[in-house]
Amino acid sequence: MRILLSNDDGYFAPGLALLAESLAGLGEITVVAPERDRSGASNSLTLDRPLTVRRSANGFLFVNGTPTDCVHLAVTGLLEHLPDIVVSGINLGANMGDDTIYSGTVAAATEGFLLGIPSIAVSLHGKEGGHYATAARVARELVERFRCEPLRQPMLLNVNVPDIEYRRVAGHRGYAPRQAAQGGAGHQGGHAAQPDRVLDRRGRRRAGRRPGHRLSRGRIRPRVGHAAADRPHAPAADRHGAGLARDEAAMSLAPERGIGMTSQRARDRMVARLREQGVRDGLVLEAMRAVPRHLFVDEALASRAYEDSALPIGFEQTISRPLAVARMLEVARDGRDLDRVLEIGTGCGYGAAVLARIARQVYSVERIAPLLERARANLRSLRIGNLRLAHGDGNRGLPEAAPFDAIVVAAAAPQVPPALHEQLARGGRLVIPVGVDSQELTLIERTASGLRETRLDAVRFVPLRSGKG
């Protein structure tokens, strides 16, 4: 059994050490916790700076982020395998009523639940901290129960244990966090539990959701090392008497490799999701796996790069969601070997980079000059030799390089531009979103008898505009 532990009091908190000790015999324990006290952080993610992961002398990993960051980093990149359960705590002070909205302890468990993993938040109801062992024992019993009777779907438990001897605990009672009344404030430890309520709604997967989130695309090197004992938040010695080591070992990664939510494992999960969503073309899937999407978005959004969502890239444009890219390329290729391909709407350059892995020669046209320069910068480190970028009006295509085996348009046109029809080779396929308020992905095929049009999926793209900017 794989168990992921976190908290909001910091990796040096006594409740976390006792929790790890109590659960040690039940399976493989991994601790990823904040580097300092992040009580009240709620379910928030760090978007404005890179995160650093370090290892303390007792083996705990700690992150310069929120409890939510810690769980998300662990699940989406640090761990080789998904944990079977996430346990957060042991928090000193109850988390009930309004507190559940702000609590970092509950937030860490919530993040696990939202990532599709059964999760438990454990808090000690009191401020003296005299009976951490009671809470640790209750946590162990709950994990043991889960191990013996695995759930069919993810669940989230918020467990508040009275600060008394274990023999005086009458039993376990479930408590479901509820929405605070408007204007309500948190009152740590000041509410009575609601009996017989367990939060158990179906979990939803968020590939790096927020995606993500937080990691540098490589401009600042992510590091995994040892904590320095002279950090302001570090205790003189940990609970077991081992001081934190002063030496640091840094691990640098090339930007295209990434770490955490931008790692190869994140791309692998994206490809697995695309398969589940019906993409079958192995060459397209391998191209999607190979191209590091996080290099093509703003650094603050890099950790969201492998979500199935469109992300802003500036100039009122977006990078298309992975499913849209994969679906369009699968339709355009149709199992064929592609010679010349034209892309309309270079954007940040991601689609062109993927296309370059499935076609012999790729041409890509972008009307917005500053965006085209950004695409060039994004593509530079990948050293793609079979890709040519051009500044122009996508409605005109690229007649000097025609005809094309496939044309892929990454913006929606009110109707198919005639120039694109003309630049399609015999047997060629044009894939374009068509429509204004209601858009449909449309396939145009040039056959021996003429053009054939097929309407495919409902989609949503930015509009295809005329002219150059």
Let me know: does 344 contact 397? Beta carbons within 8 Å: yes
Distance, CA of 294 to CA of 347 (rounded, Å)? 14
**377 three-state secondary structure:** helix
Residue 315, judged by CB atoms within 10 A of its CB (0-12, 13-18, 19+), counts as middle
Distances, alpha carbon 71 to alpha carbons 107, 207, 208, in Å:
9, 13, 11
Best CA proximity match to 442, nearest among 425, 466, 461: 461
d(CA 404, CA 425): 5
CA torsion angle 312 313 318 324 (round to 10):
-100
Are 125 and 161 within 8 A, CB to CB? yes
**Residue 320: active-site member:** yes
Cβ atoms of 90 and 15 within 8 Å: the answer is yes
- Residues 388, 364: contact at Cβ < 8 Å? yes
Say if residues 380 and 404 touch (Cβ distance below 8 Å).
no
In the three-class reduction of DSSP (H, G, I as helix; E, B as strand; rest coil), residue 409 is classed as strand
Residues in the chain: 469
Our CA angle for 353, 357, 360, nearest 5°, is: 110
The catalytically annotated residue of 22, 42, 320, 364 is 320
To the nearest 10°, the Cα dihedral for 198, 204, 207, 211?
-70
| Residues with Cβ within 8 Å of residue 203, at least 6 apart in sequence | 113, 114, 115, 116, 117, 153, 154
Q: Which of 53, 43, 47, 48 is nearest to 259 (CA)?
A: 53
- Determine the Cα–Cα distance for residues 35 and 227; give it in Å rounded to an integer: 9
**Three-state SS annotation for 278-326:** CCCCHHHHHHHHHCCHHHHCCHHHHHHCCCCCCEEEECCEEECCHHHHH
What is the residue whose two structure tokens read 């796996």?
289
Strand segments, DSSP code E, in 180-337 are 311-314, 317-319
**DSSP of 383-395:** --TTEEEEES-GG
Which residues are annotated as catalytic? 320
